[in-house]
Amino acid sequence: MCHHLRKSAMSSTSERVYCFDCQEFVSDDSDTNIQCVKFNSDPKGLRVSLRKLFHRKDMSHHNYQSSYDESIGKWQPTRGKRALLCAVTYNKQKYKLKGTNYDVISMQELLTTRFKFPKSSIRILAEMDAHPHPTKRNIQEALRWLVKDNQPGDSLVFYFSGHGLRQPDFFDDEIDGFDETICPLDFRTAGMIVDNEINDTIVRPLKTGVKLHAIIDACHSGTILDLPCVYSTKNDRKGWLDNRPPSGVYKGTSGGHAISISACEDNQLAADTSAFSETGKQMEGAMTFTFRKAVENTTRVTYASLLASMHNDILAAKRKCFSLRGLFHRERLQEPLLSSSKEFDVNEPFVL
């Protein structure tokens, strides 16, 4: 659905949805599918039309039926290290991503080899036969598992590779006026998962002595956890910036520490690319690759050195002028964004 939509009453049987980008109303009743989807693909305002991308009349709906895998409810929380890895491919759809399954497998390997996560403590949602699919309800239930009965000393990881969008914020929770979202496999029928819900589910319950790292490789993912502190690497204002919501609502933890590393800022697009592949054929998330490279090849990694390494690899790829493909015809490599539930020294070791 369009990034910036608002519904208004049209009749007793139908509604109209206002698209802020298109600046017009489009019908959203049961007989007519939305035909106009647009977004800004760069900060200068270049508009890319995505007509009929999400709401084609001839698109069968069976591909979007929400489902729940009951095995998730039987997952037992593990003590110490625990991780949830989500990869959404959107298979057989026009907006399919080609690198997400590769991303999630490489992240699983990184956690087990570099950070010594027991394989039994890692749960995966992906469009692969061996795993539950990343539908909205499955992701919601899995997020609850991630933080269930968390105890001091626990290290939790949430990784997501897929589409991300934005929608208007009507509760004065966002400085820029927009909520950020992640898109489950069935987001066209079940809806997106909004940053407010993610904050309530995996940030607020964190107890003292518990640390959560979220690694989000998606568009518009900058403040996807709604954390109150954002770290700026820009020379003119380097340091922590206040990201607390204008409404004053509390977005922190219950004593623990939540940290998010996102592929880009809230108003930017991420990249799914073959730019870093040795063969030039393997698609993967640019953020995921540069993150893995930064922590795999260095014995002592700090948050500052992690961001610097990812920054340098992105610049190198830009200089080589690789052709990028992927999410909504994404054409730009962006730098990662660090956010946190509290300010901390970015020169401290990065440990999962």
Residues 327 and 284: beta-carbon distance below 8 Å: no
4, 133, 163, 257: which is the annotated catalytic residue? 163
Name the strands in the sheet holding 178-182, side by side, starting at the edge strand that comes first in the sequence: 164-168, 178-182, 193-194
Name the strands in the sheet holding 229-232, side by side, starting at the edge strand that comes first in the sequence: 122-125, 81-87, 155-161, 211-217, 257-262, 337-340, 229-232, 239-242
Confirm whether 2 is a catalytic residue: no
Confirm whether 163 is a catalytic residue: yes
Q: Tell me the two tokens of residue 155.
A: 């290290």
Encode the chain in three state secondary structure: CCCCEEEEECCCCCEEEEECCCCEEEECCCCCCCCCCEEECCCCCCEEECCCCCCCCCCCHHHHCCCCCHHHHHCCCCCCEEEEEEECCCCCCCCCCCCHHHHHHHHHHHHHHCCCCCHHHEEEECCCCCCCCCCHHHHHHHHHHHHCCCCCCCEEEEEEECCEEEEECCCCCCCCCEEEEECCCCHHHHCCEEHHHHHHHHHCCCECCCEEEEEEECCCCCCCCCCCEEEECCHHHCEEEECCCCCCCCCCCEECEEEEEECCCCCCCCCEECCCCCCCCCCEEHHHHHHHHHHHCCCCCEHHHHHHHHHHHHHHHHHCCCCCCCCCCCCCCCCCEEEECCCCCCCCECCC
19, 219, 229, 264: which is the annotated catalytic residue? 219
Give me the active site residues, please: 163, 219
